[in-house]
Amino acid sequence: MPERTQQQPAMQRFPNDLSLVRFFLRGSVGYFVMSMISACLVSFFDMLSPRIVTFAVDSVIGSGPADLPSWLLRLLEARGGVAALEGHLWPVTLALVLTALLGAVFRYLFRLLNAAGSERFVKCMRDSLYAHIQKLPYKWHGENSTGDIIQRCTSDVESIKVFVSEQLTNLVRVIVLIVLAVAFMLRIHPFMTLLSSLFIPVVVGYSLFFHSRIGSAFEKADTEEGRLSAIAQENLTGVRVVRAFGREDFERERFHVQNEHYTGYWIHLMKILTLNWVTGDVMTGLQTLLVTVLCTYYCVKGELTAGQFIAFVSYNAMLIWPVRSLGRAIAELSKAGISIERLRAIMNAEPEADRPGALTPPMDGDIVFDHVSFSYERDGIRTQVLSDVSFAVPAGSTVGILGATGSGKSTLLYLLERFYELGPGQGRITIGGVDIADIRASWLRDHIGMVQQEPFLFSRSLEDNIRISAEDADEEALAAASRTADLEETILRFPQGYRTFVGERGVTLSGGQKQRAAIAQMLIRRPPVMIFDDSLSAVDAETDARIRARLGEYTGGSTVIIVSHRISTLMHADRIIVLENGRIRENGTHEELLALGGLYSRVYDLQFGAEGGEV
């Protein structure tokens, strides 16, 4: 048996948001790098067009000096100089067309590579989240609503994808555009370039001002969306209960109220975003107006040529978009930061882990609960569920457990399956003398079959649901398990037999049919330990008796634990344990407990009546 070591506090896998983004980016970095290189080339070719237009207007059509690189001037002189172009503008036109075509090619590559990278990025996020959630303990799932988890894995993933693919990958292009635009504008008019560049810190400044406000507003809206998703998910999965109790109006009003909260938070967020963008529009308009007026003034004074005027205004227009994009990236960073933080909370949640050197012992030994105590903690309040429970289940025997609701019956079974872990001083549970805490969890659960009181069936056929834990089971095993669960005759009456689609959560089946399908689902595995957690509560007494009779033949050699409120289900067990308020009140055979005249005897009298018939 491996030596027990004191469990240390778990280290966070991702200490900050950047580390999580780097983890998700594996496999897509190359696509984003190539897309950013393509974006830089797009920026370069976009900047060439105004230079070509300036040359054509000032030097070819006009009589100004040719402002071209020395190597290009030498090439032009070898072919007759600028004068040769005066009556033949097609080379200039061709240069513009080629520049535009090259820009279009690299723009296409940018879009294609960016799309491929973003889809691989989001796939990695979904795969990583889903795989990690599968490993998280049962306790974590109990503390987090399904709707909120789904919302994080959909809306938050999409927010991060949009930021990385549309904002972050454009950042390099934006910086290149700003640098190139400023460089080209400095060559035309330094003072005007300085005035135009003053717009950059102003945009960054007000974007940072809105940054924190957008982040807090988005966090509230995101939380409210999770609550709205949880309400919708609960309502849709519990549609039978809603209809049965006529709660449609109540549920609709409940959804409406939450939707109002959610809408209100988004309206508040949109007001902040609108103010942010209107501020940007005003600043952009003022900057464009100032540059146009001053360029016109300098052009009239003769300090700017017509071609330089066209080029400077064009470069200024090109400068506005990247600067505004820089401001938007800062604003979107707030939303993405909240989403990353919410995903980091999932990815940093501690998964189930076996002890070093976990064992895979034989699972056909005695099961012993040794001074087991357990309590739940929720919202800082601790509730004691089990107190000093000790009993043994001999290998190959059948033990029944009886108790009122909340007496701790199901908790005992969850502890045996290690859905919850026993802490120091809370006792231990052994199988064949081996502490289950030292057994590999997958091995333990693979050899313990449990049928729960509220079975869950997937949106698949009956055959797929029954075979879900034994996909390689043959037709004979499928039929034998269904027959033992008293389900075969029912299945054969369906037009499609075993191929019958059961719908979400088995909604097309009755409660008893779902329970019997779950019993067949467990029996087909033939595990050495079988647990029935009040799994016959939805079937009638006659069907209950038939199933119990067949189980006696089918489960030969297996250790069976049956939890039930029905005395008729438990009375033939080798031993019956009666729980009350988390403690063992009575323990013995059916006859011994009746003779004792205690709680078991009173429940027997209530269920069977004075004449001995079950009521």
Query: DSSP letter string over 551-601?
Result: HHHHTTTSEEEEE-S-HHHHTTSSEEEEEETTEEEEEE-HHHHHHHTSHHH
Residue 465 predicted with pLDDT over 90: no
pLDDT at res. 379: 65
Distance CA 295, CA 304 (A): 7
Please report the pLDDT score of residue 71 as a whole number: 56
Alpha helical stretches, state H, 78-198: 90-135, 138-143, 146-151, 157-162, 169-188, 190-197
Mean pLDDT for 33-40 is: 87
Delimit the domains of the chain by residue range: 17-347, 361-447+529-537+559-610, 453-526
pLDDT higher for 464 or 86? Answer: 464
CB 306 within 8 A of CB 299: yes
Average pLDDT on 272-281 reads 77
Superfamily of domain 453-526: P-loop containing nucleotide triphosphate hydrolases (3.40.50.300)
3-state helix, strand, coil in the chain (%, to 5): 65, 10, 25
Q: What is the mean pLDDT of the segment spanning 273-295?
A: 80
The helix (run of H) or strand (run of E) holding residue 325 is helix 306-347
Model confidence pTM above 0.75: no
**For a pLDDT cut of 70, what percent of the chain falls above it?**
85
Q: Give the separation between CA 312 and CA 429, rounded to whole angstroms.
A: 80
Averaged pLDDT for residues 280-286: 79
Rounded-to-integer distance, Cα 606 and Cα 615, Å: 8
Q: Is the pLDDT of residue 575 over 90?
A: yes
Chain centroid to Cα 241, Å, comes to 27
CA distance 478 to 475: 5
CA 608 to chain centre: 50
Confidence of residue 73 (pLDDT cuts 50, 70, 90): low
Position 154 pLDDT exceeds 80: yes
Helix (H/G/I), strand (E/B), else coil: 371: strand
Predicted confidence band at 247 (pLDDT cuts at 50, 70, 90)?
Answer: confident
Distance CA 149, CA 141 (A): 9
Mean pLDDT of the 197-205 span: 76
CATH number of 361-447+529-537+559-610: 3.40.50.300
Using one digit for the tens of pLDDT, what is the confidence trace for 383-428? 889 999 999 999 989 999 998 888 888 899 999 999 888 988 899 9
Torsion of CA 143, 145, 149, 154, to 10 degrees: -170
Q: How far apart are CA 614 and CA 602, in angstroms?
A: 13
User: Residue 4: is its pLDDT beyond 60?
Assistant: no
Give helix then strand counts, H and E, for the chain.
23, 10
Q: What is the mean pLDDT of residues 290-307?
A: 81
What does residue 265 show for φ and ψ, rounded to 5 degrees? -65, -40
Tokens standing for 300?
A: 């009239």
Residue 63's pLDDT band (boundaries 50, 70, 90)? low
Predicted pLDDT at 263: 85
Q: Going along 471-533, which residue ranges are E strands? A: 529-533
Q: Which CATH number fits domain 17-347: 3.40.50.1580, 2.40.110.10, 3.30.465.10, 1.20.1560.10?
A: 1.20.1560.10
pLDDT at 370 over 90: yes
Secondary element (H or E) of residue 608: helix 599-608
DSSP track, 92-109: HHHHHHHHHHHHHHHHHH
Longest CA–CA span in the chain (Å) reads 123
Interior CA angle at 175 toward 172 and 181, to 5°?
135
Provide the 3-class DSSP secondary structure of residue 450: strand
What per-residue confidence (pLDDT) applies to 328? 67
Q: Which one, of 199, 162, 379, lies nearest residue 291 by Cα?
A: 199
Which pLDDT value is given to residue 576? 94
CA atoms of 85 and 339, how far apart (whole Å):
58
The model's confidence at residue 5, banded by pLDDT at 50, 70 and 90, is very low
Give the position of tokens 């012993």.
Answer: 368
Radius of gyration of the chain measured on its C-alpha atoms: 36
How much is the pLDDT for 123?
A: 92
Question: Whole-angstrom Cα distance, residue 549 to residue 489?
Answer: 16
* Number of residues that this document lists for the chain: 615
Q: Which two tokens stand for residue 383?
A: 């509730």
Q: β-strands 583-588, 575-580: how paired?
A: antiparallel
Identify the band that residue 46 occupies on the pLDDT scale cut at 50, 70 and 90.
confident
Distance CA 603, CA 565 (A): 9
> What is the reported pLDDT for 8?
39
Closest by CA to 65, choosing from 347, 392, 305, is 305
Q: Identify the pLDDT of residue 57.
A: 66
The predicted-structure confidence for 320-364, as pLDDT tens digits, reads as follows: 777 776 666 766 777 788 889 889 999 999 888 888 889 999 998
Say yes or no: do domains 17-347 and 361-447+529-537+559-610 share a fold. no
Cβ atoms 330, 204 nearer than 8 A: yes
Q: What gap in Å lies between CA 182 and CA 200, rounded to an integer?
A: 11
Instruction: Name the burial class of residue 287, with classes exposed (0-12), middle (13-18) and buried (19+) by CB atoms within 10 angstroms of its CB.
Output: buried
In this structure, the strands spanning 559-563 and 575-580 are unpaired
pLDDT at 1 over 60: no
The mean predicted confidence, pLDDT, of the chain is 81
Amino acid at 548: R
Tell me the average pLDDT across 189-210. Answer: 77
- Convert the pLDDT of each residue in 515-525 to its tens digit: 888 888 888 88
